[in-house]
Structure 1
Amino acid sequence: MVGRMQGHDSHRSVRATIWVRGRVQQVGFRWWTRARALEIGLTGYTSNLGDGRVQVVAEGSRADCERLLAALRGPGTPGRVSGVTEIWTAVGDGYDGFAIR
């Protein structure tokens, strides 16, 4: 994968857990989100929730997670986003790649 090298000492990783509201299921939203996360170089997953929201868990540098948040809030998303909420925590055990669940 082509991208900038991130040293563990110079870029502390964080986890952003994000909930996206609106018409975001059955419109390709999870696939689109995964593609954006992989382009940025994040790991984690995205999944549909029973209440119609999509949950995104992304790990990487704070700046890279902010880039994904900006994309999720931007005009180019599939469907129709009515709101995005996030919480920031320390990374967990980590993820291999970025999965759709």
Structure 2
Amino acid sequence: MDKVRMHVFFSGRVQGVFFRAFTKENADRLGVNGWVRNLHDGRVEAVFEGPRDKVEKLLYMCRYEHPHARVDDVEIHYEEPENIVGFRVRY
């Protein structure tokens, strides 16, 4: 199993559209660990950690499958996995 950690910044219409709840729900369903939070500049920041195929699926879902968000840009940084357990919304 190829485990990865993706530190992601989503830009566009990603706040006020239940983006964090959508991300958590799908992370839990896929078994991806990490967290998601709103930033003061209007972006959403997230860390996805788990098997590469599941992390990439979650990234795809956040970018293209949210019914109300419009993701204009995604900035991705790969980091060393930290063995996070669970997925949570940070405030």
TM over 0.5: yes
RMSD: 1.3
Q: For 1:60-84, what per-residue CA distance to the aligned partner results, in whole angstroms no more than 9, with x for missing partners?
A: 0111111111112214343221111
Q: How many residues align?
A: 90
Match of 1:48 in 2: 38
* Percent identity over paired residues: 37
Runs of 4+ in 1 over 6 A off after TM superposition: none
Q: Distance in 2 between matches of 1:53 and 1:28?
A: 13
**Counterpart pick for 1:71 among 58, 61, 71:** 61
2:88 alignment partner in structure 1: 99
What stretches of structure 1 of length at least 5 have no aligned partner?
Answer: 1-10
1:35 aligns with 2:1: no
Deviations 1:8-59 (Å, cap 9, x if unpaired)? xxx1321111110011111110000111111111010000011100011011
Unpaired stretches in structure 2, ≥5 consecutive residues: none
